[in-house]
Structure 1
Amino acid sequence: MVHATKGIVLRTVKYGDTSIITTVYTELFGIQSYIVKGVRQSSKTSSGKASFFQPSAMLEMEVYHNEQKQLQFIKEYQWSYLYEKVLFDVVRNTVAMFVIELLQHSLKQPEANPELFYLIEDTLKQLDRGNDTLTGNLPLYFTLHLGSELGFQLHGTYSAKTPVLDLQEGMFTAEKPSHPYYLDQSLAQITSQLAGLQFYNELENIQLNRGTRRELLQAYQTYLSLHIADFGEMKSFEILQEILA
């Protein structure tokens, strides 16, 4: 059957002489792989079509879907959102690539999760539109909220009685745990603040220095790796730190 769905491109590799295989996080079916034929041909009809499938591209698609197959086919595709800055601004593009790599490490099963799709879609749009402070804080916000959408939301909030965030248990506690995976003091307080934000524009009011952002982002990646099997190492982490500096 043919289905209409939005999709966000995560990865694309060459297939044969003229085609590609693209991995897309879709609104209807979760993560899926598609063969797209002929987009790398040097002809008038194919010129520019490969650009639709660069990582972070947001598409409206008509797709053939068969649950018994690992590779699906795309019938039609067009932009669902055209970036104004992300593809041309080095900082925003680096943040977008961090978001995409984080998804590559986190999404293991082809399960539909519309709320997660909307989180990714909104995050990339806000990255395209927001100011520099929002751009710098967005990786922190997205990593925390990705964990929530994947089923391991932080429990509790920072307070004088619960000043420690146990990353292994995913909760704010009164005492430091025996293991090394925790945040305390200002880092726990900032995390509580970020986890409680309801709107992206609130990120513009949080001023953090380079060192604090680095510590927090490293801790949030550790948090994901403690809850996602075979999470692996993020290659874009160091690049992101250099660019945001």
Structure 2
Amino acid sequence: MLKKTRGIVIHYTKYSETSIIAKIFTEEMGMKTYIINGVRSNKNGSKIALYQPLTLLDMVVYYKQNTSNIQRISEARCHVPFHNIPFDFQKSTIALFIAEVLSKALREEEENHLLFDFLLNALVWFDDTQKDFRAFHLQFLAKMPRFLGFDPQSADVMIAEVNNQRPVSFPSTKSTQIKQVINQLLSSNFEETIAIESATRSYVIDLLLEYYHLHIGGFGTLKSLTVLREMMD
């Protein structure tokens, strides 16, 4: 049967000479895997741009219930085109980091409308904003767990949970500042500017990622983190 849904491309891998296999987080069915034929061919104009990480799509897909097999897309078009992320080095670096986080964090094969709306609205805001967005990825990391079922509620709760399993060390002189920043990240809107010193930012992202490691099995390391750190310093 055919089913309409919006989707967020998480990543794709090349498959054969002209095809790809894409992981897409859909609004109606959760995470799904699709094979898309011919998108790497220039014969009729390449459509590979539609499947770049974090692209927002309107799709009509072939849907088989209760199966995790690779499925197919009947139609796909851009839902909201990005005007800044692909052309702004800082934004594109943050976007690649977020896409990698999502590739490791999203395992659900069922709908999660609240999570989908959070992701879509956050990405649209990030692309549009002209404000200081250097804390966006930290706000994103702090806020997403509430939609995944492990909302930390406060910095003290997060730090206590992490230290029980995989302690993260930071200077005692930074402890209060780190807690204040995390509480701001948890409670603020994306529109609110959060000024964070470079050294503090490094400790905060390490703590947030350890929190993900604690709650998501096989979360692993992030290849994009090194580039992100260099860009943000």
TM-score by length of 2: 0.90
| Cα gap change, 1:178 to 1:241, in 2 (>3 Å) | closer
Structure 1: 5+ residue runs without aligned partners? 159-163, 171-175
Amino acid at match of 1:64: Y
The residue number in structure 1 matching 2:178 is 187
Q: Take 1:37 and 1:27, find their aligned partners in 2: how far apart are those partners?
A: 23
Instruction: Give the drift of 1:132.
Output: 5.1
| Cα gap change, 1:68 to 1:20, in 2 (>3 Å) | same
For the residue of structure 2 that corresponds to 1:108, the secondary structure is: coil
The residue number in structure 1 matching 2:61 is 63
The residue number in structure 1 matching 2:190 is 200
For the residue of structure 2 that corresponds to 1:167, the secondary structure is: helix
The residue number in structure 2 matching 1:237 is 225
Instruction: Give the drift of 1:165.
Output: 4.3
Q: Take 1:178 and 1:230, find their aligned partners in 2: how far apart are those partners?
A: 15
Q: Does residue 224 of the first structure (1) align with residue 212 of the second (2)?
A: yes
Instruction: Give the drift of 1:29.
Output: 0.9
Mapping of residues 23-102 of structure 1, within 5 Å:
23-43=23-43, 45=44, 47-66=45-64, 67-102=66-101
For the residue of structure 2 that corresponds to 1:87, the secondary structure is: coil
Instruction: Give the drift of 1:32.
Output: 0.5
Amino acid at match of 1:180: P
Q: Take 1:21 and 1:179, find their aligned partners in 2: how far apart are those partners?
A: 35
Counterpart among 121, 138, 141 of residue 140 in structure 1: 138
TM-score by length of 1: 0.86
Structure 2: 5+ residue runs without aligned partners? none
Instruction: Give the drift of 1:178.
Output: 9.6
| Cα gap change, 1:177 to 1:70, in 2 (>3 Å) | closer
Amino acid at match of 1:110: E
| Cα gap change, 1:137 to 1:76, in 2 (>3 Å) | same
| Cα gap change, 1:69 to 1:104, in 2 (>3 Å) | closer
Q: Take 1:166 and 1:93, find their aligned partners in 2: how far apart are those partners?
A: 28
User: How big is each residue's C-alpha offset from its partner over 1:209-242, in whole Å with a ceiling of 9 and x where there is no partner?
Assistant: 2111111111100011011111100111111111
* Aligned sequence identity (%): 29
- Aligned Cα root-mean-square deviation (Å): 2.1
For the residue of structure 2 that corresponds to 1:136, the secondary structure is: coil
| Cα gap change, 1:168 to 1:111, in 2 (>3 Å) | farther
Conserved in 2, the CA contact under 8 Å of 1:166 and 1:177? no
Q: Take 2:68 and 2:209, find their aligned partners in 1: how far apart are those partners?
A: 32
For these two proteins, the number of residue pairs brought into alignment is 228
The residue number in structure 1 matching 2:149 is 151
Amino acid at match of 2:110: E
Runs of 4+ deviating beyond 2 Å? 164-170, 176-184
Conserved in 2, the CA contact under 8 Å of 1:14 and 1:20? yes
| Cα gap change, 1:178 to 1:119, in 2 (>3 Å) | closer
Instruction: Give the drift of 1:97.
Output: 0.7
The residue number in structure 2 matching 1:106 is 105
Q: Which moved more, 1:102-111 or 1:142-151?
A: 102-111
Amino acid at match of 2:161: E
| Cα gap change, 1:109 to 1:182, in 2 (>3 Å) | farther
Q: Take 1:114 and 1:68, find their aligned partners in 2: how far apart are those partners?
A: 20
Q: Take 2:199 and 2:11, find their aligned partners in 1: how far apart are those partners?
A: 30
Q: Take 2:42 and 2:157, find their aligned partners in 1: how far apart are those partners?
A: 55
